[in-house]
Amino acid sequence: MNIREAKLSDAEAIARVYVDSWKSTYKNIIPDSFLERMTYEKRIPQWINNISRDDNYVYVAETNDGEIVGVADGGKRETNQFENSGDLTSIYISEEYQGQGIGKKLVERLFSKLKELGYQRIFVEVLDDNKSKFFYEKLGAEFYELTTTEVQGKELSLVIYEWKDVNSVLIPS
């Protein structure tokens, strides 16, 4: 498995991982009508933008055959007002590749970059009903705050986790 910085030419493959992950992860959490309207074509411009931005860092996991099976990105959200802190904005792994350590490798690569930028604390937001929250807990993220978000009129609980020290993820376990 190769972890590398994303290129613009990866946007279509990333959009596939993203949409497929949403449809499997958020089934029975987010309204079906929202998930049904998600398409690769609609998400490609979003990922072109994410990769192009100077303040966002996107990494992909690709197989030895060059197939992109995971993506993670982050930087600093506009809503993050804490000094020396950044955000893990998203991480998505194709369902058949989950549980193989790919997510951890992507997070480590992203956190190395965020540390380079001077970030010491990292935040991540995850829907409370998303079982992926246990992935963050396993990586040492601690509960910071419970809030809500709305998707198509449905109010959802949103958990914010925090790594108080970026090094805690980077130190070999």
Question: What is the percent of the chain with per-residue pLDDT over 90, rounded to a whole number?
Answer: 88
Q: What's 33-73 look like in SS3?
A: HHHHCCCHHHHHHHHHHHHHCCCEEEEEEECCCCCEEEEEE
pLDDT at 111: 97
- In CATH terms, is domain 2-170 a member of 3.30.70.270? no
Dihedral class, residue 88 (left if φ above 0, else alpha if ψ from -120 to 50, else beta):
beta
Domain borders along the chain are 2-170
Q: How far is CA 125 from each of CA 4, 86, 91, 144, rounded to the nearest angstrom?
A: 23, 12, 11, 10
- Which tens digits make up the pLDDT trace of 93-124? 999 999 999 999 999 999 999 999 999 999 99
User: Is pTM beyond 0.85 here?
Assistant: yes
Residue-wise pLDDT for 132-152, tens only, equals 999 999 999 999 999 999 988
DSSP notation for 103-154: HHHHHHHHHHHHHHTT--EEEEEEETT-TTHHHHHHTT-EEEEEEEEEETTE
pLDDT of residue 79: 82
* pLDDT exceeds 70 at position 57: yes
